[in-house]
Amino acid sequence: MSQVLLGLDLGTTGARALAVTPGGEVVAEATASYPLLTPRPGWTEQRPDDWLEASREVLRRAVAESGGEVAALGLTGQMHGSVFLDSADRVVRPALLWNDQRTHRQAEAITSRVGGGRLLQITGNAALTGFQAPKLLWLRDEEPAAYGRLATVLLPKDYVRLWLTGERVTDASDASGTLLLDLRRRTWSPELLDLLELPIEWFPNVLESPDPAGRLRADVAADLGLPAGTTVAAGAGDNAAAAVGTGIVREGLVSSSVGTSGVVFAHTDLPLPDPSGRLHAFCHAVPGAYHLMSVTLSAEGSLRWWRDLLAEAGGEVDYDRLAGLAAAVPPGSDGLIFLPYLTGERTPHLDPFARGAYFGLTATHGVAHLTRALMEGVVYSLRECLDLMTVAGVRVEEVRATGGGARSRIWRQLQADVYGLQVRRPVAEQGPAYGAALLAGVAGGVYRDVAEASEVVAIEPDSVEPDPDARPVYEEGLRLYRSLYTSTRSAMHALHKLS
């Protein structure tokens, strides 16, 4: 029987499991969705037990379809979320997600108590609403009865690990998105926990991503069709795992992901915190290495919003149809610009109250213009992210397009044109689950280290080159795009108070 590696990705909209051969070939794939809860504007939650149900479904299907002997399982998933458990490991309340914006007051309180400069020194990051630490303080402030029951706080993928293995473990890449990890020491910061009055006993052990982090419990293994005792790797946050799966494991390589959010990710050998706090400095899934990351909160999420609006109005639209409409419009969308701040914005504005907008509308603009302008606005935001990285000293030799948008030629062409750089795409664009499977291979002894695991990542030979005729249009469009946030910020914040 051939050997395979399993990767499980706990995404924002659903779970995905892959079975991958040691040579990098995907031989089985399964997905299952679960609901996103939005009890108030700006709030995003999920039920952790929905993750378990979906994980069980996709793992069983992937195992059955692979027909191979599973050497190990790797985990990845959405970062920053908070799973609150009591002393019996019961879920106290629905989990708060990475894009939840309710904690702005708690983020400000953390900055005030710790000091912005000191926070950057320790964690590599400013206090933002998405991180786990302000979520804990929100629970303490707003739901004290629930807070009083707390015994364990886990990140989303690590709650699934608890079910699989019974172990309370996380990894350095995911933990560095909590705002509680000492970035350089790669472990929880006693100073921050003390200042925020959070007991260290609540938090799981921190390992490196390719480390073995438990074995499948006998009952769970039998249910999934796996041998009891199968090794489970520590795994990684979704972006670090995706980087492993696209070979972003050395300096000079940058990935540009268009998924629900948009992410620009760069490997760095040393920690390079941004003094302004606009870039995230996190531990990488490569032991001892780091990465810089910047996030546009609504990337393909903006296009989904637009698709859903058109569908509600009676239109028959899907992503391919929208791509065709956008391709029929010239670069610059005939003077129309979109600000993709539908759920606030992270990089570069760090503003939970930012609002989306179209600017420059005329009677000559139609659905095709609005579609292309939306896509261009998302890539302008990603270009701002990339520019911050080059200022920080990141060397860019090659951009690799990832995420759902990588499958679309127009998304790749827009990135090449707006970045002014060659864009390439991995052959197996399976997202974080693919990287999680490769990390499992290291934990299971199939590969020597992460570098060797990433050697199986194949890149398509054809690249997308910048269109020289589009470059001046997009440079001017970028200049105008950058001016709009500054010009409209006060109006955005006033509108937030009315909502």
**In 298-427, which ranges are E strands?**
337-339, 357-359, 398-402, 423-424
Indicate which residue of 158, 238, 351, 417 is catalytic.
Answer: 238
Q: Which residues, at least 6 apart from 354, have a Cβ–Cβ distance to it below 8 Å?
A: 339, 341, 344, 345, 485, 489, 492
DSSP characters for 280-307?
EEEE-SSTT-EEEEEEESSSHHHHHHHH
Q: Which residues, at least 6 apart from 53, have a Cβ–Cβ distance to it below 8 Å?
A: 32, 34
**In 340-384, which ranges are E strands?**
357-359
User: What CA–CA distance (Å, rounded) separates 106 from 109?
Assistant: 5
Task: Name which of 354, 390, 376, 371 is nearest 476 in CA terms.
Answer: 376
**Amino acid letter for position 103:** T
Number of H helices, E strands in the chain: 17, 23
Confirm whether 308 is a catalytic residue.
no
Token pair belonging to 23: 């040579």
Helix (H, G, I), strand (E, B) or coil at 494: helix
Q: What are residue 202's phi and psi, to 5 degrees?
A: -75, -20
Q: Cα dist. 129→12, 389, 476 in Å?
A: 17, 22, 32
Query: Which sequence positions are flagged as catalytic?
Result: 238
